[in-house]
Amino acid sequence: MSQLAILEYPDPRLKKLARPVTVFDDRLRKLVADMAETMYSAPGVGLAATQVDVHERVIVIDVSEDKDTLHVFINPELLWASEETAVCEEGCLSVPGVYETVRRPVSVRVRAMDEHGRPFERDCDGMLAVCVQHEMDHLEGRVFVEYLSLLKQTRIRTRMRKRHARQTAA
């Protein structure tokens, strides 16, 4: 396994749409394993393949306290979202150091496949529901900051550009 480089917002590659996975092979299983290692090392609770510049519909999530319950969603589809919403503080490995509140449905039902191509449906609540929605946004070329006011978006973009400039200069 190896760690993957995480793209940082506002990198335009984050805006690419992810293609459906059609081949369930060792390459895909290695991608899932590498994404999980990267997520755990970051540390984070979720990672979409688009965040590591692989534009396929692959998500890994682990919201467990002990980081021992990896959820893999290949080609996820949102089947249902509750009308009830809640505000939750979100952060993102692609937007390091930024945490803002976002309103999302508190429950969702997702249809997906595992890394072996087996289909399943899962009802997700709480933090898992938030993470599924957050990571699925990445597959559609969106980051959570796009739910914020234009002023906050501008401030975050400026902060990220300055951070990138400092890192490049060092």
Summarize pLDDT for 3-56 with one digit per residue, the tens: 899 999 888 999 999 999 999 999 999 999 999 999 999 999 999 999 999 999
Q: Annotated catalytic, 135? A: yes
Q: Which CATH superfamily hosts domain 12-169?
A: Peptide deformylase (3.90.45.10)
Structure confidence at residue 82 (pLDDT): 98
Burial 117-148 (b: 16+ CB within 10 A, else e): eeeeeeebeeebbbbbbbbbbbbebebbbebb
Quote the tokens at residue 25.
């092979």
The Cα 126–Cα 106 span in angstroms is 6
Sequence-separated (6 or more) residues with CB below 8 Å from residue 48 = 18, 58, 59, 135, 136, 138, 139
Q: Tell whether the model's pLDDT for residue 166 goes beyond 90.
A: no
Cβ count near 167 (within 10 Å):
9
Closest CA to 132 of 160, 90, 164: 90
Local confidence band at 156 (pLDDT 50, 70, 90 cut-offs): very high
Quote the tokens at residue 88.
């939750």
Please provide the average confidence, as pLDDT, over all residues in the chain: 95
Catalytic residue among 8, 56, 90, 135: 135
